[in-house]
Structures are given as C-alpha cells and as structure tokens.
Chains A and B, each alone.
Chain A
Amino acid sequence: MEPRRPPRTVSDPKVRQVGFVTPAAAPPARTVSDTAAMPAAGASQELPLSGSSLSPVMIPPPRHDGLSARVTALLPVPIAATALRLDNLQIRVGSYNQSEVLLGTPPMTSPSSRIEDAVSEFSDDVSASSLYGRTEPDKVGTAFPGRSGDLMPAKSVVAGGSIGSHTPENPPTASLVVKALPGITEKKRGMLEKQHDEAAAPKPLKEKTTKAERRALQEAQRAAKSAAKEGGGADPTNTKKDKVVKPTPQKKDVPEVAASSGKKVDRPLEKERKKEVLPLRMQFDDKHKVEKVKQRAIVNQREAKSRVEFFQRLPQYVHGTQLQELEAKFFQLDAVHPSVYKVGLHHLSGKITGGNARCIAMLLAFKEAIKDYSTPPEKALVRDLNAKISGFVSFLIECRPLSISMGNAIKFLKNRIAKLPLSMSELDAKASIQSDIDRFINQKIIIADKVIVRHAFAKIRDGDVLLTYGLSSVVEMILVYAHEHKKKFRIVIVDSRPKHEGQILLRRLVAKGLNCTYTHINAISYIMHEVTRVFLGAASVLSNGTVYSRVGTACVAMVAKAYRVPVLICCEAYKFHERVQLDSICFNELGDPDAILKVPTHVESYLYGCMDNDNLQLLNLNYDATPSDYVSMIITDYGMVSCNQLLIYCSVF
C-alpha cells in the first residue's frame, strides 16, 4: 500500500497552494497519522475567516454561519440577509484576488491570457470579458463589487417570481418561502415600493435599472451588449472607484437598485416567464394533469406502477415499451422532422448520452429541420418556426426529459428566432438561424471545452493522482490533454452500477497509455487517501452553487471534502442555470428501475419473484445535487470560479 502512495512532495504546501488557497490557511501536510491532528490545526488557522469549513483548500472564506447562507441560498429576499451576503461577497472577492495576486499563478495566466482574446471575441456578453480581467491585479478589486450590483436584480427576480405566482417549477422551495417568511415578504414589498421611488430619481442609477431589467428579462441581448459596452467602457470606472473607496454607501445602494428593479420587473416578468421558459415541469402525481397530457401525448406510454413515494411526480414509464411504441409510430408523426426523430430515438435508446452530446445532436437535428423548413402561406416565419421547434422539443421530452444544457440551448435558439426581423426574407432568416446554431455549438461547447481543458491543465502537477467519477467528456479531454503535454500523473476512475460509464473512459484512457486505476464507488473512502485532485463533470451548475450531476457525484465530492482533497467541477457555462435547488429530490430523472437489479454474473435477478410485491419499490435516480460546500472550484470557459461567484454567471447567461 505504501508504495502506491504518491510522493509527499505532491502535498507539499508550496505546490498545493496554487490558486486555491487563502494565504492564511496553509494546508498541512497530509499523512495518515496527521489526519487526527489536522482538524484542530486547520480550524484554528481558519478561524479568523470561518468557523465551519474544515477544508484547507476552500477558496472562499466560508459564510459566517450555515444558517444565513442557507437562507440566502433559499431566497434572497430578506434585505438583511442580502446585505450580509454582499458583505461576504466582497470580503471573499478581496481575499480571493489577494491570494491570486500573491501567488502570481504563472501557470494559469499564460493559457488563460492566451485564450482570453478568443473568448472575449466569441462571448456575447461584455461582462464576461471583464470578469476575465480578474487576472490583472488592479482591475480585480473593482470588477466584482461593480458586478455584484448587477447580480442583485436577478436574485430578487427569482424571489419575486416565487412569491407572486406560485410557480410549479419548484414547489417545495416556493412553499417554504411563503410559510417561513410572510412578515419579511410584506416588509420587503413595502420597502421595495419606497425604494423604487427613491431610486427613480438619480440618473446613473436609473440607467442601471433599465440595464438590469433588460438583463433580467433576458431580452434584447444585442442591445444590452452595446449598452453594456458603453457602460463598461467609460461610466463604471468612476462609479466603481467610488465604491471601492467607500464601501458603506455601496452597501446601501445595492439593495436599492436591486429592490427597485425587482419591483419594476415583477409584473412583466411573470408573463414573460410563462411565455419564454420551457414548459414547466409536469407533476406526474397529479392524476388530472396526467390524463390531460396523455391525451396530447404522441405515444401512449404505460406508466410504471410502483414508484417511490418521494418521486411520484417525476415521469416514469415501463421501460422498454416506450421505444417500441415510438418506433411503431414512425410514419404517423407528421410534425416531427426525420432528423429530430432520429435524435429522439437515440436519446431514448441511450445511444447518445451526456449533456454535451445530447445538446449537439439536438441542435444539429434542429438545424437540419430548419433547412428543410418552409413557411406555410399566410404565416409568419418567426411564429410558425418557433411553434415548430416547440413541437420538436415536446417530442424530445417525450423521449427523455431534457437536460439542462438542452433547455438552455433551446432557449437560446427560440430567442434568436423570435428576434429575427420580420422584414427578413425566409432564406436569409433560415441561414442566419443555422449559423447561429453553428456558432452556439462552436463557442459554447467546442471552444468552451478547449478553454476548460487549458484552465484545468494548469491545475495538474507532475505526480498528481487525479480522481474522476463516471464519464465526462470534458474531464476525459483534460486528462488526454495533460497526458499529451507530458504531465506525469495517475488516474483513479471511480465507477458505479448500473451504467458502468467509467469503463468506457477507462478503455479509452488505457488505450492512450495513461496510467489508470479503476474502482467502484463503494471503495471511494479507501482510494481517496492517495488522491490529490478530484475532477468531476456536471450536468448543470445551479445558481446557488449546487452541482447537478450524475448520481454518485455528491458522494465522491463529500468524501473528497472529508479527506481534504480539492474538488474541481468542469462545466461549460452554457450549462449554468439560474434555478435554485437544495436537494436532488425536488427534481431528478428516474432511470430504468430494473437496471439496478441486473447483476452481470447472475442471469436471474436476486429479486426474482418479488417483483409483483407491493411492498417493493425500486428507485434508480439519474442525478444528484452536490452542495456547494463540497466543491472547491468550478472550472468554466470563463475561468475558474468558486461556487459563490456563480450567481454572476448565472445572471449573465
């Protein structure tokens, strides 16, 4: 066992400090004998910053206490909490940058600055490139406070939505909000109105409001871009400097802005949401609604009869019948383009899996469909095409619930179509949408992946032992890239039943000559001893920093945290979602329950004969939610961020 351990140099503080570590908390050397003594040492070192975090590799000085963090995460309504949070944010930003400046991070700046140009050229939003400026020391301090003002509207928007209209999107959260804080919401309303009046007066603030409003509405991106350019070019430099000098007035200002914009946006937003956001999730335990949907459904699917109580609102069909039914209806489905149909079948049969691959396949199919599309007489392209895409989407949903990446891509596409000028000829319009799709794939996925690979590469040292879980395309690219660039490291691939996706990764990596160890998730605590970094993929990163990913990821991250191994989540920014989710129960996807029964060595299931028993319910979840506490850093195409900074990104995309 001993010889398998990595050389101690790996966990030498000097090496491990890079980029992650607040200078105050130098990580102690990690040996087995040390672990007992370490918590005390670590805690005492970190105490000035935090009481709760044990990890020496946490970037953000963790929140003052768990409760307030929860509350802000849950609902950013109470002003006290938001102020607190802002305070937090600022402190963190400062310390984060400080550490970065101190350490200099030479390996990181070189690739990122190289890529920076490329990204800013491709990115739609200026704010993104300004975020990039983070690597330059003098801009750093100013960039984030300025932004934090922007991010508030988005937060309060979310809150307003959940208070005003009881959106079925996230029922547990919404009900919690209403129950827990009726007084505060009332108070907030009052304050909102008051502050709205106040905020209307000053000029620069008003300008800000409109900008925030637009952003919150997710409308007129292009207009926002130019506006942001103007704002980002000349104006903010002054205001930002003010803010840096006097942090106290800023604290007052920001809630005002947030509140006023939140109030203003409240009404139109609800309408907008209904229109724009993809059909909100069905509750499958509502019999009445299910009947309705069934009437509309393309294929009448038999629903699985015994479902775990917690998950009854999620769709679950008898596995295996779906594909047959859908195939049999091949020629009946008039509205669905062949290429979309093919993608749907691939999703259903599991031939295409993974957020990126599914998204790309879907977009290419849409592109194909748009190419073959012609506007029927007396209809407007914009409306008809959007309706058509909606039809495709509902077909795809019937095949398999959409991934968040796909949802975002669809939102993008519909937005683009909706914004086509009416005067545009059909040919031009189609060409422009097709090139939009191409650009989306190229920028948001392919180039984003490349950028992430470069960023992550900077985090790999010679002698590292990297752990990954399941199969993530980005992580695979990172590993291959690092191998090609002569890094000497070892890989631990952790896998789980029933999909055994890790074996695919293992096969590919071994074929490329990488040094791999393969194990199952039950051995995670054993293998974590020797690991120095954990790289994980994600299906989505939510705005409270929760990482929504393949089931088992949370477990890996938790164990890694317990062993003080940094957890790096690799996720393209287009997969970010502004939703807030606290657990994996309120939204998930159910897999084939029979899959977990099959044991390869046994032809017959162990539960043979018990299947009809009413007391037996099988649960095969596809995703889980990793709380942000377990995540050291998220590597996106806009650089490496900590979970708490995510809100900014979420509001941007």
Chain B
Amino acid sequence: MTRMDFEVVVLAGGASSNLSPLVSQELPKALLPVANRPVLSYVLELLEGSNLKDLIVVVEGEDAAQLVGGWISGAYADRLHVEVAAVPEGVGTAGALRSISSYLTANDVLIVSGDLVTDVPPGAIAATHRRHGAVVTTLLCSSPVSGPSDSGTSGGKEKAKKPVRHNIIGLDPTRQYLLHMATGAEVEKDIRLQKRILQAVGQMEIRADLMDAHLYAFKRTVLQDILDQKDKFQSIRQDILPYLIRTQLSSEVSGNGLVSSESGSNKSAVQDELRWLSQHREIAPSTFQDSQPLSLKSQRDDQRSHKCCVYIANESKYCARLNSIQAFSDINRDVIGEASHLSGYSFSAQNNIIHPSAELGSKTTVGPQCMLAEGSKLGDKCSVKRSVIGRHCRIGSNVKIVNSVVMNHVTIDDGCSIQGSVICSNVQLQERVVLKDCQVGAGYIVTSGSEHKSESLARK
C-alpha cells in the first residue's frame, strides 16, 4: 500500500529555455547544482524526510532521463525507490502527467515540481487536502523579494525582472479555498471574476504577494478524468488548475460521482460509507454541518461543487523555484546563507563550508556564506564572498569572486574579477577577465583581459 494513500510524481522537466546558457544537453535542469548538489536532490530529500520513498520522476527527453536516472540510482540507490519515466520533449506538465497517469492507483497524487527548493513539509499539503476532501490543493508561498536588497550589483537585473512576475490569487476570507488564479501574463488585462463564485463566498481576498510553488495534491480520479477528456490541456498551472477553479460550482467532474466519493480505495466501501453518511445526514443534517462558506450559501449546488484548496506556507519557511537565472543565483545564495539548513552541510565557525581537500593560498580570504568544494585550489591573495565554488576548480592569485556561482572544473587565471555571475563547468577564464552579472555557458573560454557586463556567453 502506498503511504497514506498518496502517490508522488516529481516533474523534473527537461532543458528549460529560461535557463539557456546554464542548462545543456549534458546538464538537464534537474541536475543544475545548487550549492554543489543537483537541484532535484532538494526535492528528493524533502520527500525522503517525509517518508515518501516510492517516487515517480518524470523527465522530458530520453537523454535527460538517462542522465537523471543515472544520477538518482547512484546517489539514492538504497534509500529511495524511484522510477524514472521519460516523456517526449515539449509535452508540457499536463502532457507529462498524461503519459504516466495510467500507472497511478492511489487515492490522491502529490505532484511536485523538480525545481522546487523548500522546507515546507509536503505532508502539510497532503493533510490539508485530505482534511477538506479537496479536488486539488496547492501550495502557496510568499513570493520572494527577488534579488538581494543589500547588494546593489544585481540591481539592474532586478528592475528588468520585476514587473513581469505577478500572480493574482483570489482566496476566501478563511484563506482555505482557492477562488481565482491568474498568471503573470494575464494580469495585463482586466481580471475577470466569476459572479457565481463571488456570490457564493461573499467576499474574496485578492493577493498578489503569493506564489504558486508548483506543489499540488490532486484527487487521482479527477486528474485522470481531466487528462482524458481535455486532451488539449498542456500545463497544470495554466490549464488544469484554472479549469478546476473555474468549474468549482458547476463541476463536471463531480457529475459522475467521482468527486463526491470520500476516502477509500475500494469503490464498494466508498458507497457503503456514503450510504451511512447520507442516511445519517437525512435524519441529522446538522451533525454534518459544513463550515465551508461555499456550500452554506449555495446549498443547491452542493452536489455539483468541488473544492480547490490552498495551503499557505508559513512566512518563516523557505520556498523558491529555480525557474530563472536570477532565481538560480538567489537560491544558491540563500541555500548557503539564510536557508542554510536546506543545504545539509555543517558550517564552520566562520559560517562557510570549506572542504578539507580544498587548498588555499596565503592571504586568501573566504568570507562567510561561501562554499568551497573538494579539490579546488585557490592561489594567493584571493577574495571570495558569498559565492559557491564547485569541485576541482583552479583559481589563480589575486582573484575576486563576489556573489557568484562557479561550477566544477573551472579554471580562473590570475587577476580575474567576477561579480554576480554564473560560470558553468569547464569554463576557462584567462587572465584579468572582468565579469559582472554574466552567465558563461559550459566549456566557454573567455579571452584574457576582456570585460563583460550583463551578458550571456555561450559556445555557439
């Protein structure tokens, strides 16, 4: 039996275009290092911590699936039981689910995006889902104030990014039910609300400071129905979820009696229970009073309504998605900084992590909230602040690295200065290179003495 009658699907995605110079054929999004660990490992360890050890990981593209599968089987051989499923590229999240939906059997399905870095317990979402008997429950977290406020270096990027990302989320007064959801692109237009929903609830709270964390709990039967019936649906976020929210009060999915069924894997048992409940409800309506405002005010629709619920993560919890380059550097910084408990490393007294095998030259300083992985060598008089440096990097003398991510096997020659940049594996920076807010794709060679600002450098 699956744990608590929940199955877990991790959507690990493929090569995302948002992260273009960083991800490549060799490095799918799921394996992007965050504090020198693939980002997928954060999700997997979160699930493992919640005792969820039977997972399905869906990856776009055969090659990526092999890479991810290889990594998982190496890293989690005896800890997790993971099935890696490959789906064709470009099918979208809904398409990915559609291709595996026939394998799902449990009562509810927990769908986690593979790029989520959080410490919100997935059990909380699952339990909320169960408690309400909802069709879908989604995790909302306060959207990050993008970019560090204290470092002015990435300020330019912030401005460029800021107006785009906005979620408009409508909640009921008790903040339990999801009544409206619009993505960033739709916000430009007027917001259209359904009158019926508004009438039923009476009052709607519209929030723009919440972010959909792409952690959903779905009722399996409903999810499968929607996937079967609506074959044009591409994405959970843009198609399935709005559809379910829209049809809350005029539910088609509940028309065939699937939604209204209470817990219970076996159909006959479900009906049995329903019979009891309805029998008792008939004679004692108030014992089954529903505190839900939706049903109180529109009892006629009670039969044909389903619930879309939310779980709003506590402010103190960390929750971020790696879906942009900005987010990548933010998360890297946070994981070794303020959300350091996520990284799983133990910090030194100086509040940084320096692997014993790393070598530091004389007068080289590594500041707090830094990470230096195994086998890396730093020359003399270097300065590293708030940065992550990967494995087996060779860094010359007089190099400054601030607010940056340096992946594995990178060679940095003397006198370089790197600020707010991401440098992928096997990159070579020749002498006196100055980079500010740049992304350097894997295997690129930056010629000596060149200066770049806010550029994306990659091999053609």
A357 and B263 CA atoms in complex are apart in Å by 17
Which of A48-56, A283-291, A328-336, A644-652 is the interface stretch? A328-336
Which residues of chain A are within 8 angstroms of B432 by Cβ–Cβ distance? none
> Which one of A342, A356, A360 contacts B276 once the chains associate, using CB atoms below 8 Å?
A360
Residue B293 at the A interface, CB < 8 A?
no
> Which one of A327, A338, A441 contacts B128 once the chains associate, using CB atoms below 8 Å?
A327
A505 and B314 CA atoms in complex are apart in Å by 35
> Which one of B3, B124, B279, B284 contacts A476 once the chains associate, using CB atoms below 8 Å?
B284
A450 and B282 CA atoms in complex are apart in Å by 11
B283 touches A330 (CB 8 A): no
A357 touches B127 (CB 8 A): no
B126 touches A330 (CB 8 A): yes
The CB with the most chain B CB atoms within 10 A, among A324, A334, A342, is that of: A342
A414 and B410 CA atoms in complex are apart in Å by 67
Which residues of chain B are within 8 angstroms of A326 by Cβ–Cβ distance? 127
A204 and B6 CA atoms in complex are apart in Å by 61
Chain A nearest Cβ from B103, distance in angstroms: 20
B264 touches A328 (CB 8 A): no
> Which one of A339, A346, A356 contacts B287 once the chains associate, using CB atoms below 8 Å?
A356
A368 touches B130 (CB 8 A): no
Using A331-B6, A504-B286 as known contacts, say yes or no to A342 and B131 having CB atoms under 8 A apart: yes
**What per-residue 1/0 map shows which CB atoms of B282-294 lie under 8 Å from chain A?**
0111111111000
A342 touches B280 (CB 8 A): no
Which of A186-194, A301-309, A347-355 is the interface stretch? A347-355
A473 touches B124 (CB 8 A): no
A508 and B291 CA atoms in complex are apart in Å by 14
- Nearest A residue to B3 via CB reads A331
- Nearest B residue to A346 via CB reads B131
The CB with the most chain A CB atoms within 10 A, among B276, B286, B291, is that of: B286
B124 touches A330 (CB 8 A): yes
A446 and B276 CA atoms in complex are apart in Å by 10
> Which one of B52, B273, B280 contacts A331 once the chains associate, using CB atoms below 8 Å?
B52
Give the contacts of A359-389 with B (CB-CB under 8 A).
360, 364, 368, 371-372
Using A364-B273, A368-B263, A449-B283 as known contacts, say yes or no to A345 and B51 having CB atoms under 8 A apart: no
Using A330-B4, A331-B50 as known contacts, say yes or no to A446 and B127 having CB atoms under 8 A apart: no
B1 touches A351 (CB 8 A): no
- Nearest B residue to A336 via CB reads B4
Residue B202 at the A interface, CB < 8 A?
no
Which residues of chain A are within 8 angstroms of B277 by Cβ–Cβ distance? 360, 364
> Which one of B1, B130, B273, B276 contacts A345 once the chains associate, using CB atoms below 8 Å?
B130
A505 and B50 CA atoms in complex are apart in Å by 41
Using A331-B4, A331-B6, A368-B269 as known contacts, say yes or no to A476 and B285 having CB atoms under 8 A apart: yes
Residue A471 at the B interface, CB < 8 A?
yes
Using A341-B4, A354-B287, A473-B284 as known contacts, say yes or no to A328 and B263 having CB atoms under 8 A apart: no
A449 and B280 CA atoms in complex are apart in Å by 10
- Nearest B residue to A348 via CB reads B131
Q: For this complex, into which size category does the number of interface residues on chain A fall? A: 35 or more
A330 and B4 CA atoms in complex are apart in Å by 8
Residue A43 at the B interface, CB < 8 A?
no
Chain B nearest Cβ from A446, distance in angstroms: 6
> Which one of A330, A372, A446 contacts B123 once the chains associate, using CB atoms below 8 Å?
A330
Which residues of chain A are within 8 angstroms of B128 by Cβ–Cβ distance? 327
Which residues of chain A are within 8 angstroms of B264 by Cβ–Cβ distance? 339, 368
A342 and B128 CA atoms in complex are apart in Å by 9
Residue B420 at the A interface, CB < 8 A?
no
B288 touches A357 (CB 8 A): yes
Using A327-B124, A338-B4 as known contacts, say yes or no to A360 and B131 having CB atoms under 8 A apart: no
Residue A482 at the B interface, CB < 8 A?
no
A342 touches B289 (CB 8 A): no
A476 and B283 CA atoms in complex are apart in Å by 9
A345 and B132 CA atoms in complex are apart in Å by 10
Chain A nearest Cβ from B357, distance in angstroms: 36
Using A368-B263, A371-B266 as known contacts, say yes or no to A477 and B283 having CB atoms under 8 A apart: yes
A338 and B123 CA atoms in complex are apart in Å by 12
Which residues of chain B are within 8 angstroms of A334 by Cβ–Cβ distance? 3, 51
A345 and B137 CA atoms in complex are apart in Å by 16
- Nearest B residue to A507 via CB reads B296
A508 touches B124 (CB 8 A): no
Residue A445 at the B interface, CB < 8 A?
yes
- Nearest B residue to A354 via CB reads B287
Chain A nearest Cβ from B391, distance in angstroms: 33
Which residues of chain B are within 8 angstroms of A330 by Cβ–Cβ distance? 4, 50, 121-124, 126-127, 130
B269 touches A342 (CB 8 A): no
Residue B338 at the A interface, CB < 8 A?
no
A441 and B264 CA atoms in complex are apart in Å by 19
Residue B205 at the A interface, CB < 8 A?
no
Give the contacts of A543-567 with B (CB-CB under 8 A).
none
A364 touches B276 (CB 8 A): yes
B124 touches A328 (CB 8 A): yes
The CB with the most chain B CB atoms within 10 A, among A324, A330, A368, is that of: A330
> Which one of A342, A350, A477, A505 contacts B130 once the chains associate, using CB atoms below 8 Å?
A342
Give the contacts of B254-286 with A (CB-CB under 8 A).
263-266, 269, 273, 276-277, 279-280, 283-286
A450 touches B283 (CB 8 A): yes
Which residues of chain A are within 8 angstroms of B3 by Cβ–Cβ distance? 331, 334
A446 touches B279 (CB 8 A): yes
Which residues of chain A are within 8 angstroms of B263 by Cβ–Cβ distance? 338-339, 342, 368
Which residues of chain A are within 8 angstroms of B279 by Cβ–Cβ distance? 446
> Which one of B107, B280, B286 contacts A508 once the chains associate, using CB atoms below 8 Å?
B286
Residue B225 at the A interface, CB < 8 A?
no
B131 touches A329 (CB 8 A): no
Using A332-B51, A345-B131, A360-B276 as known contacts, say yes or no to A327 and B286 having CB atoms under 8 A apart: no
Which residues of chain B are within 8 angstroms of A350 by Cβ–Cβ distance? 291
Residue B62 at the A interface, CB < 8 A?
no
Chain B nearest Cβ from A238, distance in angstroms: 43
A327 touches B4 (CB 8 A): no
**What per-residue 1/0 map shows which CB atoms of B103-138 lie under 8 Å from chain A?**
000010000000000000111101110110000000
Residue B455 at the A interface, CB < 8 A?
no
A339 and B277 CA atoms in complex are apart in Å by 14
Using A339-B263, A342-B130, A350-B291 as known contacts, say yes or no to A473 and B51 having CB atoms under 8 A apart: no
A338 touches B130 (CB 8 A): yes
Which residues of chain A are within 8 angstroms of B286 by Cβ–Cβ distance? 354, 471, 473, 476, 504-505, 508
A368 touches B273 (CB 8 A): yes
Which residues of chain B are within 8 angstroms of A445 by Cβ–Cβ distance? 280
A338 touches B51 (CB 8 A): no
Chain B nearest Cβ from A343, distance in angstroms: 10
B285 touches A332 (CB 8 A): no
Which residues of chain B are within 8 angstroms of A438 by Cβ–Cβ distance? 276
Residue B5 at the A interface, CB < 8 A?
yes
A368 and B107 CA atoms in complex are apart in Å by 14
- Nearest A residue to B8 via CB reads A331
The contact sample of 23 A-B pairs, CB cut-off 8 A, is A327-B121, A327-B123, A327-B124, A329-B121, A330-B130, A331-B6, A331-B51, A331-B126, A334-B3, A334-B51, A338-B5, A345-B127, A345-B131, A350-B291, A354-B286, A354-B287, A357-B284, A357-B288, A364-B273, A445-B280, A477-B283, A477-B284, A505-B286
| B contacts, CB < 8 Å to A | 1, 3-6, 50-52, 107, 121-124, 126-128, 130-131, 263-266, 269, 273, 276-277, 279-280, 283-291, 314
Given contacts A341-B130, A349-B131, 8 further A-B contacts (CB under 8 A): A324-B124, A331-B51, A331-B123, A351-B291, A360-B287, A364-B277, A368-B269, A372-B265
| A contacts, CB < 8 Å to B | 324, 326-332, 334, 338-339, 341-342, 345-346, 349-354, 356-357, 360, 364, 368, 371-372, 438, 441, 445-446, 449-450, 471, 473-474, 476-477, 504-505, 508
Leading 9 A-B pairs by shortest Cβ distance: A330-B123, A327-B127, A357-B287, A473-B284, A330-B127, A328-B121, A331-B50, A345-B131, A473-B287
